Amino acid sequence: MCSHHPACPSADSLDRERSHVISAHPDQGWSLLCNGVVLFEDTGLLLPDGSVVAPHRAPVAA
């Protein structure tokens, strides 16, 4: 799905949220990433295979 160079992380990689936003809908609380992941404003994810990742906080670098 991604045509960026270098390619965005795939939907099944741990850094999948680093992919480019291709469609943002802040009024509805979600964005579509170029790897097919739907990112919700509460940090929950809907993966292209239909599985769900519960809301979470990204690790913070020290």
Dist CA 41 CA 51 (whole Å)? 17
Which has the closest alpha carbon to 29: 43, 40, 17, 20?
Answer: 40
- 2 or 18: whose pLDDT is higher? 18
Q: Where are the alpha helices (DSSP H) in 13-53?
A: none
Average pLDDT over residues 23-47: 95
pLDDT band at 57 (very low <50, low <70, confident <90, very high): confident
- How much is the pLDDT for 34? 93
pTM of the entire structure? 0.82
Asked if residue 25 has pLDDT above 90, the reply is yes
